[in-house]
Structure 1
């Protein structure tokens, strides 16, 4: 049911309810805060039993299995357990990990079990407890144990309506190799209560149930289900897929669920992404049908096997702290509109972000504010074909990440990353940086390429000014033509409407309409008999360049490769000069882009990317996956005065999701 069309009990459209709720949120928020301040006088209680551990601050009571450290019960706001008590105790709220040893074909999914319990802190303002899983190489003769120590920590503070979670992952020297493909915290909520999901101002709605999915029709990609007989008839004919609710790290601060009957909200708040994978634009899952809420710290979603982030060799030591994240619960019995609880959760998210780095974690592996560094500087661009002289890098993403090759930050998972954006004059300040060795990386929306500092930067607590940094983008000559905007997504290209009967009503006329299921099929609808032809100077990439270069579906159901044509005129040619074709890809899945110049039927391509990509962004409704730039030199004698054409063939057929998304294309002339 689309939030914009939902009507309340008096028939008012939801946008009017939003206006009313917005006016009341502040006043009700004050009432709520005052109530919490009064109730914060409740003393913290810790009850350690033989099989369970209970933390209680008068606002929220959390029960863990002992010594496993699974979250078995969360009691608050008059609800005995917001978690799905129909699940076994180990599958209600838990840390999990997916891993395998080298040479194994199958990965293991493990809800991480603690083997020992310890009270880390217990006083009037804080309880912190530890459930630790310890690896013993001497007991692992069969090679079937996970070679990690994992210390799961849970913290409860006085007066806070929720609790914090973090974990210290550690490998010691000499331990065997292992490949980790995912680790996260998962919460499975009471299916009978939580029915309204919110992950953004414009992405929230009443959701189908797990049973609705089970009764539905599975579609071409396993996670996608057509709802054929849902409990809520208004959802009949819609598609549900958890990947429709993915978000970039930089935008993924708060998400969760509301019980519209009990007027209780359950929220996962992620105050920082310094400990997450791949920087600001790595996509991760959030909340989805279950009802389920996730805090994903590392995964290969929208990256595939190209992301080797947590592969460890024999003997390789490592330590990293994931989190803390905050599990927040709120309520508002006076307002039947779920949006008000979302507004309160957003405000709480802002508060948590402002408190980062937290001052309460008791692990020495989590440095507090006075143990961290601040880095300042200014980024300038040097591209004489865009502007004479150096000019500020506006709104550039600037980050510190472990040393590595150009652009390596988007594949990093073992270390920490710290990102910000420059102001209009190119100045930046990166705060709360852990001590260590880094490179400074950057990329600028609207400018092709990556920046990396020439030297490693070693940081200790304190302030560091890097001065003026010069980014010289990749370029061999003047721009002859360009298609798109170099912003690492395909969002500016033509994204079709969803196929009738296969839509999620939330994304109809939505800025993220690319989240609709099955858009790859619309290429065949638009180009049933011939492929896309783009005429430079005539065509408009917002209307005439399809967002994904995919295969065409034939009448007998086959998937055949497609060839796109870029037509352009040249008045003058430098036969002895070198022209440069730049292709920046926003996504690739089992694709091979072959380039031919002025000869579509040439047997061998002039250039080829080779087989690339496993990010599945096309199937999983993303507008980008892993960014990949390519550059090809075109000898001047291959071009002619007058009409020219470049043919782009995605040569891998046979599968609907093979293809690429282009970020940006540019033809450069010889240097003058």
Structure 2
């Protein structure tokens, strides 16, 4: 078992002056920590939080489930439901070779059970209490674990984080997911979810009628609930939670540096009475952590802040939580974290982007470990920002080391990459002016969409977090897609996903005017934000020019955006198709995009006898990022 030193520097927090001290008590079964504003109780046997309570100035309120206020089965269904646990940590992983005689849990699920770990109070002062739960690797989960809960004087909340370590004695393994889970009370304290920028959604209260697919349920009021519909881009929604009449409970993340997949990583936040802080996951095609046999690897996931507040109404609760986020960001990196894997000393990176074709404003600038695409990274740490209107960027608080710098977006089909960027502690690395040369293939004839890895600008792209989104297409496009450049609207006349289903015409038609000279080469550049084959391992998308087929595009499954409510997956695909300019004619021309395995909606009928799997399976799809046609004379 590995342990960490407990020494640290105690910071001064807003509101801590004159506040009651932190009081921790322990016995053989549990450890309790109370600072007059928040109270948590941790089980020694499993390292789980048994209760989370908030003091409102007069009385204490349970915010997490307890033995007395347990969640009921048809809501909060999360693995074994665990209706009496307020908060716990878990993971999903597997080993390359399962030892004889052992059977892994479903999906490689791992969580400490009684007697597997050691929970102790490692810091106990009037300013701070810290609880650590450690566990050795197991044959099926070959990672040493240390997860912490930390309470400070004067704060209405607590911190949590976990450190995972794979050492030289351990076998090859893959870590898919790790997270912390809070189960909130269901006694009327909370009635809304708050998911980014003051977006509030009522918590479904109707009874479950049946399960319709994975983690998706039909309710008695006719609606469907699924934990995937509240997914967000984690980097862009650093605060979310539950609100009620005057109490709120929030996940606040001052830095997303430890997430896999960079700024476009999507994942879950809330569902039923479940408040999640997922730290690593493979949803939407993101990459797992893969470690070889004998490889040394460790990573600090967190810390993040669990915040309980009291304000009159959801909007005020949200504004207060957002202000707390600003405060927590000002403290990052936290000086008190005692894990030796956590980097307190940081550096900054500055630069200026000069894009040959125009402004790079709004493009992502990403520092990622070298040797792997930034959207596929998982083992290390990512840091990012956006280019401002002047072309400048600044990335603060970067962990020292060697990185590759990537610039993605600005309507460019390919990213800019600069390797060998070294960041030094306590220093500013100025990269100067970065010359980004736009890739062109002649004179542009037209472009549909913007190259930004997303299909969000097309119809339904601004409201894609829905269940069975393909059913909208059947109603909205009765004659299928016939788009004319210069006349049609991308946000109305081009759907965000081309399903392997159609109403009348299996081929989407994109018409445009051209005046070719006849002797040049045409280049069609197509970006794909997502793809999912209807059958087999690859799509079979046929592309034609005025009826002549010019390409067959075979793409693997990139993720789950099509059936879990997204407009992009983490992996991105680009195809550059060339054909003779002579295929174009003077005047109107038509590009065709057709799934070879498409079928009419009338043949796609779910089997009513099966509550989980439709008779013909879920439809395949591709999501277009952008389509550009150029001619080289």
Shorter-chain TM range is 0.7 to 0.9
Mapped partners of 1:154, 1:51: distance in 2:
17
Call closer, same or farther: CA 1:300–1:593 in 2, change over 3 Å.
same
Report the equivalent of 1:347.
323
Question: 1:309 and 1:378 mapped to 2: Cα distance?
Answer: 32
Counterpart secondary structure, 1:531: coil
- Counterpart Cα distance in 2 of 1:222 and 1:271: 32
Q: Distance in 2 between matches of 1:593 and 1:581?
A: 18
Select 2:192's aligned residue among 186, 189, 196: 196
Residues 459 and 538 (structure 1 numbering): CA distance in 2 closer, same or farther, change over 3 Å? same
Aligned length in residues: 574
Q: How does 1:216-615 map to 2 (within 5 A)?
A: 216-219=209-212, 221-228=213-220, 236-260=221-245, 263-289=246-272, 291-303=273-285, 307-332=286-311, 335=312, 337-368=313-344, 371-383=345-357, 391-405=358-372, 408-495=373-460, 512-528=462-478, 530-552=479-501, 562-575=506-519, 577-590=520-533, 592-598=539-545, 600=547, 606-615=550-559
Cα deviation, 1:489-543, whole Å, max 9, x if unaligned, reads 22211229xxxxxxxxxxxxxxx43223333112222344x43122223322222
Alignment of 1:14-25 (within 5 A): none
Given that residues 616 and 657 in structure 1 are in contact (C-alpha distance below 8 angstroms), is that contact kept between their aligned partners in structure 2?
A: no
Does the alignment pair 1:646 with 2:622? no
In the TM superposition, residue 378 of structure 1 has moved relative to its aligned partner by 0.6
Asked if the contact 1:583–1:630 (Cα under 8 Å) also holds between the matched residues in 2, the reply is yes
- For 1:322 and 1:278, the matched residues in 2 are separated by 14
Displacement of 1:642 after TM fit? 4.1
Q: CA deviation at 1:429?
A: 1.0
SS at match of 1:316: coil
Partner of 2:608: none
In the aligned structure 1, how far is the partner of 2:465 from the partner of 2:107? 29
1:16 alignment partner in structure 2: none
Deviation (angstroms), 1:594:
2.4
Within 1, Cα distance between the matches of 2:399 and 2:457?
A: 36
| CA apart distance, 1:392 | 4.4
How far 1:553 moved relative to its partner?
A: 6.0
Paired residues of 1:550 and 1:656 also in contact (CA < 8 A): no
* Inter-partner Cα distance in structure 2 for 1:345 and 1:458: 32
| 2:629 aligned residue | 667
**Which residue does the alignment assign to 2:609?**
none
Whole-Å separation in 2 of the counterparts to 1:652 and 1:167: 46
Q: Structure 2 CA distance, aligned partners of 1:454 and 1:184?
A: 32
Distance 1:448 1:598 in 2: 21
Preserved CA contact (<8 Å) 1:257 1:266: yes
How far is 1:479 from its partner? 1.2
Matches within 5 A, 1:34-183: 40-77=18-55, 78-79=59-60, 81-85=62-66, 86=70, 91-102=85-96, 107-112=107-112, 115-135=117-137, 143=139, 145-183=140-178
Aligned 8 A contact 1:573 1:640 in 2? no
Higher helix share: 1
Distance 2:29 2:276 in 1: 26
Q: CA deviation at 1:101?
A: 2.1
List runs of 5+ in structure 1 lacking aligned partners.
Answer: 1-32, 229-235, 384-390, 497-511, 555-559
Q: Measure the CA separation in 2 of the matches of 1:130 and 1:204.
A: 34
C-alpha RMSD of matched pairs (Å):
2.5
Which secondary structure state, in structure 2, belongs to the residue aligned with residue 362 of structure 1?
A: coil
Asked whether the equivalents of residues 253 and 269 of structure 1 are also in contact (C-alpha less than 8 Å), the reply is yes
2:173·2:292 contact (CA, 8 Å) conserved in 1?
yes
Select 1:629's aligned residue among 567, 574, 580.
Answer: 574
TM-score (norm 1): 0.80
1:343 counterpart SS class:
helix
Matches of 2:483 and 2:625 in 1, distance apart? 16
Q: CA deviation at 1:195?
A: 2.2
- The Cα shift of 1:64 comes to 0.9
For residue 668 of structure 1, report the CA deviation from its aligned partner.
Answer: 1.3
Distance apart, 1:358 and its partner CA: 1.4
Q: Is the 2:300–2:341 Cα contact (8 Å) retained in structure 1?
A: yes
* Secondary structure at the counterpart of residue 352 of structure 2: strand
**Alignment CA distance shift 1:652-1:269 (3 Å):** farther
Q: Tell me, what secondary structure is at the counterpart of 1:410?
A: helix
SS for the counterpart of 1:64 is strand
> How many Å separate the matches in 2 of 1:324 and 1:546?
40
Q: Is the 8 A contact 1:168 1:322 kept in 2?
A: yes
| Shift in alpha-carbon separation, 1:164–1:538, aligned structure 2, 3 A | same
